[in-house]
Structure formats: C-alpha cells, structure tokens
Structure 1
C-alpha cells in the first residue's frame, strides 16, 4: 500500500437556494395551481416583460451554455470560448444559463449539451429570462412580478446544488451572484436588539458571496468563519439554510448555529429583517431547511471567531491492490478510532470507493506533536497491511 498527499479535494455540500418563493395566485382558492407557461394566455406580453426589465436593470434572454455551438445559432469563435470553459466550475458560475451539474439543465432527454453543431439544442430546464440582481430592490421587483403573473422563480448564486434547485424550466432566473457586499465588524448588534446590547464579531455578506472569498478576507481580519469546503459554495443559500457542516463545526458548530441575522425578501415582495429579536419564526425557519421556500435571502450575518493559533491538516490517498481483503481492515482501523479523534477535536471528510480511500482531516489549535500521536499509530497499523 502507498500513501500519497492529496492536493486537490472537494466536499459534497448542498448549496443554492430552493427554486420556489412565489405566493399563490389570488384567484386560486386552494392555493394549489400550476405555474403559467409561455404557451398559455396568462403569459405576459412583450410590453409587460420590457416594463419589468426596466425595474431590474435589464432582463437577460437566457439561452443554454452551449447555445452557440449548435445550428442554426453556431458561432465558431464563441463556440471555441465555450469549449475552453464548459467543464469548469469557475466558467459555469458566470453563465446565466448554466449550473454546476449539466444534468439539471435537461428536461428528460431534452437539453443542449456538448458541441455537436448538428444536434438539436433545446432550452431544457434553462430559465427563459434572467435578472442579474444587484440590489435588494431588483430582488423585490422580481418576486412581485413572478407572483403577480404566476411564473415560476428559480433562485441561483453559483448553481452549486446537487438537487438542481437553482434552475427550472419556463421560469425567471433570479441570479444573485453579483450581490457581493462584505463587511467585517467587531461589534455587530442585530437590528431590534434592546438598547445597550453588547456587540460581537461578525461578517455581513451579500447573497452572491462565495466562501472562498470570505476565507481570504477573514485571514486579513485574523478571524475564522464557519463555512463550506468547496470553492463554488455560496454563503447565503442552501448550504447554511440546510445546516451547513464545516471542518471546524466540532469547535464552532454548524453554519446554521452561527447565523446572527438574515435580510430576506418574502413571497409578498417585502424586505424583512429576521433575527432573535424580530421575525423570529422566519429566522427559525431559515436555519432549519427549506431555504427559498420562505423567501430570498439577500444578506446574511455570521459570527466570526478568533483565528486559530495553528491548524493541522492530514491528507492522504490510499489505493488498494486487493480491496476485498484490505479495505475492511482499514475501515475497521479508521472507524475504531473515531470517538477518540472526535473528542480530541479532529474533523473532516472521508471518501471511500471500490479500490480507493481519501482522508482529509483537520485538528485546530494543536501542535504537530499532538497531531502525530493520533495519526502515527493509525498509519503504522495500515502500513503493515501490505
């Protein structure tokens, strides 16, 4: 058996807001109805769409990411640029008609995948229009228009959602990716708190900020923030609203435990502040799963914590020539130590495949000698399994 340092890794985290935050139409006595489709008389006319666009800084007619690679829309120069970035997260998060997993851009077998110029390019699940939201008012106006016209609303930051909730066919795409305000404070006090309330360390984040950006800024401020481990996870969407596990959760809790305040646009288009002092039911709901079911979070405030004095990171790849015999023994050696390691403050991620295992573990605020007292016996045991 051979152990190799792991240089690249990603954590499977749910992110992205849920795709429905629209009030039921007033003419629906039961509140249960299908959304309006472009083929129906209820669909707004061009003048209505144009007027709406003026309230949100312009409206993007959205096409699939590979649109210019297919006839009759083929454009050689544009298609070459698309091919360079098509399979990269960073490129996809900048495209209004793309999400991180291409299967969610499909409706059944109808989509616009790949670069075969003669193959049919279907709209699939890609929204028909995109609002590039830059302000709270853009979000409010979008929610109100969707509610008034009974149009499905898809809310997206980077499109990192393994359940495909940031994309929907025949919808308006509310794209919050460019709402990137970020402000660190040492004495944040939630709105509505009693006079004289003490402040605490916090970071105020627009809903388009990604965790990788927060971590860079947090280092400059000598603080840490509980967040995700994957570069394209957004800070204010489904990651935290569904709990939000983190490598530092054993020390500082889940992301949901660290929320101090949300600003959220509810289904009636109103901007509300939700924290421990006002709209407490909404504050509770937004930290318990469901995400965009309750509204569109446009700003989130999270606790900050003092920077770690040190952090140990153990990363290994294990490859098995005889997994049938070796893997159960390694898992037994690994799992039998988890209670002890957890009590000592270790946390992280483990990936187990047929003939491969990756271990990514963290131990904050401990020296290397302490870390090795846990790791050396484990790796010594599995080295003997050759």
Structure 2
C-alpha cells in the first residue's frame, strides 16, 4: 500500500484489530544452543527414540565452500543448487537462498524427518516444552524465508508423499450433511507435479493447484493458491474438503466444515506455518476437460506511442474476449516496448481459441509499421490428460528440464523458465490486485495509462490466473469462504514484479550477494508506485509480495484479519508457530525468538 494515502483509511481496521487482541502477554524468549535451558543430549535422544530414529543434527550445507570456496565440492554444490529436485531432498537447504537485506537460508539445529502425524506431534510437544523456535518445511518454496530459521527445530515433511484418489469422499463427521464427491488426499510432502501425474495423467481428473512442479501442495493451500485456470476452478484453498493438522497443543486434529470449522477456515489461505502443521489434505477434483490450449505471441512496438496504443488495445481486447472462465495465465510487459502474451485456455477447441484472438491479430496487421512479431505466434490445442504426462512432455524437450541426477524418476521435471527459481536470491518483489471495474469502458484509458507508466520503469507481468473476477460464479462463492483477502473476488489480475539472481551466500567468495541488489529493488518500487497511483489501497497475494510490506495484515487478508487473529489466539495462544508476516507475528521480534511485552 502507498502510505501517502494516509493513516485515516486504516483507522477502522486497526480499531477492529485491537478488539481481537488479548491482554499484552508477559515477555517470553525462546532458547538457543548454548543457553542453559537448551535441551540436554539425553532429551534429544529421547525425542529421537519417539520418532523412530528420524531426528537429525543438521549440518551446514556450505561447509565445503567455507573450507575451500574454489574446490570441486563447492562447485558441485552450486551446480546442484540450480536443480530444484536436489534442493527438495536436502534438509538443510531451501528453494530460495535469500532476499537482499531481509534473510538468508540457514539450517536448523535439529530436524525431525517426519513420516506421520505422530512424528509431527512428538516434535511439536518437544518444541513447546523446551521453548524452542519451531520451523516447518515441506519443499522450502517460501520467498519470505518462513521455512528456515537458525537455532531452531525443523519439522521436515518431505517424506510424507502418499497420494490417494477417492470416488466418493465425505469429510469426517459430515455424513448426511455433505454429498459424496470425487477427491484426492495428499500428504504434507507432496508436490504439485507428482500430484498432477497421479490425478490427471493416471486418474483422468483435474485438481486445482499451482503451476510450478516442485511447489508443495500444503504450502499452496495455506496461502490460498492459484492455478492456470483459477477463473474456472477457484482458488486451491476453496477446494479443500478436509485437513489433518497438528496444533500447538500436540493434538492431531481432522478438521473440515463440520469439525473445528474456524481452524479449517483459517487453513484455507490464512498463511502457512501459523496455525499448525498440516500433515494431510483432501481436495475436490473436477471432471477433466477434453483439451487445454496455449497462446504464445510476442509483439514489439516501434515507439512509445505505439506501445501505449498496443497496451490500450490489449486491455480492450481482454475485456471483450478473454475476461471469462475459459482463459488464464498472463501477459508480460518487457523492456524494449515488448508485450509478450502467454495465455492458456480450457473448454475451447482450436477454432474457438483462434476466434478469440482474431480481432487482436487484425489490429496488429492493420498497423504493421508500428508492430513487429519476432517469432511465429503459437496457438496450440492438446489433450488435457497429457499436460503433465512425463512420457509426452519430453517429446518437446525445449519445454521442460529434467532432474539431472543419475537415476532420477522421469516425472521429476520442471517447465523451462522455472529452473531459474532454484536457489534464487531475491533482490526485490511487489504485487497488487487490480479491480475489475478498471476494465469498464470509462476506466480503460486510466488502466492503460498506468500500465504504460509502469512499463517505462521496467518489466512486470499481469497474472490473470491469480484473480477471480470474470470467473465461474460458483467458484467465486466458494472462494469467498476462505481467509484470502476478499479483494481477490473482484480483481481481474495480479500485477507482479520481481527480480533476483543465482544462489548467493555471504562469506562465500564468488557467490556473495550482489552489491547492486538495492538498485534493482528501487526499480521495482518505481514500477509499483506507478500502479499504486491507480490502486492506492490494493491488496496482494501473501506468497508473492514485498518482504518489507508495512500494512501486511490488511494487504494479505483485509477484513478477514481480525477473525484470523482470533483463531490464532484460540489454537496457538503462546505463538509456537511464528513466521514472518504471519498471523500474530506482530507479537514477536523479527527473528521469532522474543515475544513483545
């Protein structure tokens, strides 16, 4: 949010938030290694026995580099850090290596390699009883660094990977209240790529999830979660039917609309790592469309004025032909007056897909002196069941990158372009939801002007898949019953800008964080400021937002925050689960070790 809009806007929200807060707690500090209260070796051995020998003392992943930064072992490590599947299998690493001036990936002191909810409960009880900093990691995809903390006990759920299909699922305790429906249950360590392979390739169904193959199912649901066709299938969180979760008291709970409904609601987009440790999720599945389609078009304008016309034309075209449940994905505004369209569709055939773009194509042909198309536009329709089929995707080797480790399973692949996410060191990030009323004829010029102004500051993207306006009414209503900021219901796109570089760690020669990261971050701020002039009070998506956002409670959850804080105080009154900008984190120091008085 642009704070120049004034504090007065937030006054009613802050007053409501104060009503939900408990009396100020007494000062509380978690213990670190070396403190007198740190658990003795015998206590750790007792925990190890409880969890079947799956307690690890975590090593420094950079030890070889600290010993010999130019040696083969260090070179091999940084080569592996570009493989997200390698990172997935390391207890001491995270998919993002850090964020400039914010955080750096650091290993925990100990980790429980959980294989069941019972293991998780043992770790939760141990952390609570010994006043330890507790961290939860599945795949480690948090941009905000919430899946790592030094001097902590880590609950690592990666080994919990069971996927089970259901023909007629009824949540526990809901018999007679909820109709049976097709669903899929996923353990906490499941990733979306493998889940799609089970649900779609093998099962012939569709489940709403994320685009990145190595993102965890549990993490995406906790943050709300979007897929390519969110306007058709709603948010991932809205499709949650039931969750097994271990709360701060060590109880293993099965929650749904009938059991612990407030906790169930909070898990649907209330943010990962704040309410408990999710160990299993059950999601509704949908009938699979016959076909999916993709559109890939790059247009370069010859001048600023031509680029502004192009943006205006696209805004008008989107409102008229693409603002509906069939279409998703994104359009990029790139340096050099380039518009790159990467859209996808479901429920359309080849002729219908091409017809939706015919007026835009005619506009480009009528102004051929102003617009160049560097490569042949791509319009492709393919059987929906093949989208995540590893036997099929490798027929187009330029589109995918496989896990390079010897013996890696064939389903270990990522889409080309996503590989840069592995080990990424973030320089800066920003995002904002754009409301659907900007698409009305009277406001399209203002929208196009703002997009053009932002493009003159740098590259950014509009992701239509991460907003629900224009979508299926039933799915919008289902998403209304989640903790996500209600702005998403009336937003047509998420404007997003982020930048970063290869893995970076302070003190490792040749791999130090870049000194110019602050300049990149300043450029991102300028882009966002150009958009905030149009939407000064825009909310945003918790998983892809600015680490330094000041009014994060309002931005992430809007009017839902007081209800979330009440649920937090009920299920985790002592703040065992504390993450950066998570519900209730305002009660804690930035490192999560000291509770404010």
Superimposed CA distance per residue, residues 256-280 of structure 1 (whole angstroms, 9 cap, x where no aligned partner): 1100000000001110011011111
Q: What is the aligned partner in structure 2 of residue 363 from structure 1?
A: 345
Distance in structure 1 (CA, Å) of the matches to 2:298 and 2:83: 23
Give the secondary structure class of the aligned counterpart of 1:155.
Answer: strand
Between 1:95-104 and 1:291-300, the stretch displaced more is 95-104
Matched, 1:174 2:155: yes
Structure 2 counterpart of 1:163, from 141, 144, 153 = 144
Contact 2:138 2:189 in 1 (8 A): yes
Aligned pair count reads 342
Q: What is the aligned partner in structure 2 of residue 54 from structure 1?
A: 49
Give the secondary structure class of the aligned counterpart of 1:291.
Answer: coil
- Cα distance, 1:48 vs structure 2: 1.4
Matched, 1:97 2:92: yes
Superimposed CA distance per residue, residues 306-332 of structure 1 (whole angstroms, 9 cap, x where no aligned partner): 1102121112344x4756344333322
Cα 1:32–1:283 shift into 2, 3 Å = farther
Cα 1:256–1:358 shift into 2, 3 Å = same
Matched, 1:290 2:290: no
- Cα distance, 1:133 vs structure 2: 1.0
Give the secondary structure class of the aligned counterpart of 1:283.
Answer: helix
Q: What is the aligned partner in structure 1 of residue 311 from structure 2?
A: 331
Between 1:142-151 and 1:326-335, the stretch displaced more is 326-335
Between 1:374-383 and 1:364-373, the stretch displaced more is 374-383
Matched, 1:36 2:31: yes
Cα 1:327–1:98 shift into 2, 3 Å = farther
Contact 1:348 1:362 in 2 (8 A): yes
Contact 1:351 1:359 in 2 (8 A): yes
Match runs of 1:124-135 below 5 Å:
125-135=106-116
Cα 1:163–1:364 shift into 2, 3 Å = same
If the length of structure 1 is used for normalisation, what is the TM-score?
Answer: 0.82
Give the secondary structure class of the aligned counterpart of 2:226.
Answer: coil
Distance in structure 1 (CA, Å) of the matches to 2:88 and 2:354: 39
- Cα distance, 1:344 vs structure 2: 5.7
Q: Tell me, which stretches of 5 or more residues in structure 2 are unaligned?
A: 1-23, 372-597
Contact 1:107 1:125 in 2 (8 A): no
Q: Tell me, which stretches of 5 or more residues in structure 1 are unaligned?
A: 1-28, 112-123
Structure 1 counterpart of 2:62, from 63, 66, 73 = 66
Distance in structure 1 (CA, Å) of the matches to 2:128 and 2:112: 15
Structure 2 counterpart of 1:85, from 63, 66, 80 = 80
Q: What is the aligned partner in structure 1 of residue 443 from structure 2?
A: none
Structure 2 counterpart of 1:199, from 170, 180, 185 = 180
- Cα distance, 1:41 vs structure 2: 1.1
Distance in structure 1 (CA, Å) of the matches to 2:307 and 2:146: 36
Q: Which has the higher helix share?
A: 2
Cα 1:151–1:223 shift into 2, 3 Å = same
Match runs of 1:1-386 below 5 Å:
30=25, 32-56=27-51, 57-71=53-67, 78-103=73-98, 125-195=106-176, 198-219=179-200, 220-237=202-219, 239-318=220-299, 320=300, 322=302, 324-340=304-320, 341-343=322-324, 345-355=326-336, 356-382=338-364, 384=368, 385-386=370-371
